Amino acid sequence: MSGIDDLPPLSRVIAEHGLVARKSLGQNFLLDLNLTAKIARQAGDLTGMDVLEIGPGPGGLTRGLLAEGARRVLAIEKDARCLPALAQISAAYPGRLQVIEGDALKVDALAHLTPPIAIAANLPYNVGTELLVRWLTPPEWPPFWSSLTLMFQREVAERIVAIPGSKAYGRLALLAQWRTRAQIVLSLPPEAFTPAPKVSSAVVHLTALPAPRFPAEPKVLEQVVAMAFNQRRKMLRAALRGLHPDIEDLLRESGIAPTERAEQVPLEGFCALARAVAAAR
Ligand code: SAM
């Protein structure tokens, strides 16, 4: 027994199923079930919610999510070696855990979920940012999920919550903060994981806002932000030259000096610029 449920401790699960961590799959496991329950609690009240978990591995966070009362957990795992351990958890929580073996970038998770939906994961580092960008740029807003509770390398977490003028401020901060409330809610040292990675980690909690903070067409805003930060040290009039022939006028019209650099411009300014560019096209 492990404290949060009647299943064996994770160190035994790993030993019994021969789950030697593979670097290529970004495997750094959380073995402390009190910690995984704490991470699950950062997702808020899960009663009555479906939870999508990417990369359950041996199931530490999965067990936390179930013990914290998630209605159902849909877990997508690429490593088939983890499936027997996850099957034991399914048996302990009848009807509440569905596991799909596959690549989270390819599986259509939505087809297996019923709203309200939360997403929670200790993400594999190699696909974490790509998944986050996908969740932040859905075809419609509000998105299919109401919150994201995600473990990242500390440096990525800082890019998500970064403020203008900081080195970490860029595309990820703007994408996240335009339509969500994003906060770092927990910091974890390397020793919290087995094996210990080289860097610290942090859990970010993002709540979907009902509507964007400032109006803008998503595709235009994404294009403006991507171009602006592609050459972040250049003045915006140069970095955005290819966007529109009258870019200097459009920048001024949006309240941005053409000589400013991308990292000085707040979200509101980028949204104003996206609207001006869309109107001028
Ligand atoms: N959730 C577990 C924990 O907290 O101990 C494991 C986290 S580990 C950082 C990342 C997990 O994601 C591994 O189990 C790995 O096999 C899985 N994974 C890696 N790439 C994946 C992908 N493309 N799709 C689904 N799972 C993936």
Report CA-CA distances (Å) from 55 to 36, 39, 259.
Answer: 14, 15, 44
| pLDDT on residue 3 | 79
How many other C-beta atoms lie within 10 A of the C-beta of residue 228?
Answer: 25
* Cβ proximity of 40 and 64 under 8 Å: yes
**pTM for the complete prediction?**
0.97
Locate the ligand 1 atom nearest the alpha carbon of residue 25 and give its number: 19
Q: How far apart are the first and last CA of the chain?
A: 64
Strand partners, 142: none
SS3 category, 40: helix
The residues lining ligand 1, judged by C-beta closer than 6 Å to any ligand atom, are: 25-30, 54-57, 60-61, 76-79, 82, 103-105, 122, 124, 127
Closest CA to 99 of 75, 65, 122: 75
User: From the CA atom positions of the chain, what is the Rg in Å?
Assistant: 21
Q: What are 157-164's contacts with CB under 8 Å, separation 24+?
A: 157/184, 157/201, 157/202, 157/203, 157/204, 158/184, 158/202, 160/132, 160/204, 160/206, 161/204, 164/263, 164/264, 164/265, 164/266, 164/267
User: What domains appear along the chain, each with residue ranges and CATH number?
Assistant: 10-208 (3.40.50.150), 218-280 (1.10.8.100)
152 CA from centroid of ligand 1 (Å): 12
Locate the ligand 1 atom nearest the alpha carbon of residue 36 and give its number: 4
The H or E element that residue 84 is part of is helix 83-92
User: Which phi and psi (to 5°) does residue 190 adopt?
Assistant: -55, -35
229 CA from centroid of ligand 1 (Å): 30
Mutating to test ligand 1, I would choose from 13, 32, 54 the residue with most ligand atoms within 8 A of its C-beta, which is 54
Closest CA to 174 of 265, 276, 43, 279: 265
228 CA from centroid of ligand 1 (Å): 33
26 CA from centroid of ligand 1 (Å): 6
270 CA from centroid of ligand 1 (Å): 35
Per-residue pLDDT of the chain (281 residues; tens, 9 = 90+): 667 899 999 999 999 999 999 999 999 999 999 999 999 999 999 999 999 999 999 999 999 999 999 999 999 999 999 999 999 999 999 999 999 999 999 999 999 999 999 999 999 988 999 999 999 999 999 999 999 999 999 999 999 999 999 999 999 999 999 999 999 999 999 999 999 999 999 999 999 999 999 999 999 999 999 999 999 999 999 999 999 999 999 999 999 999 999 999 999 999 999 999 999 99
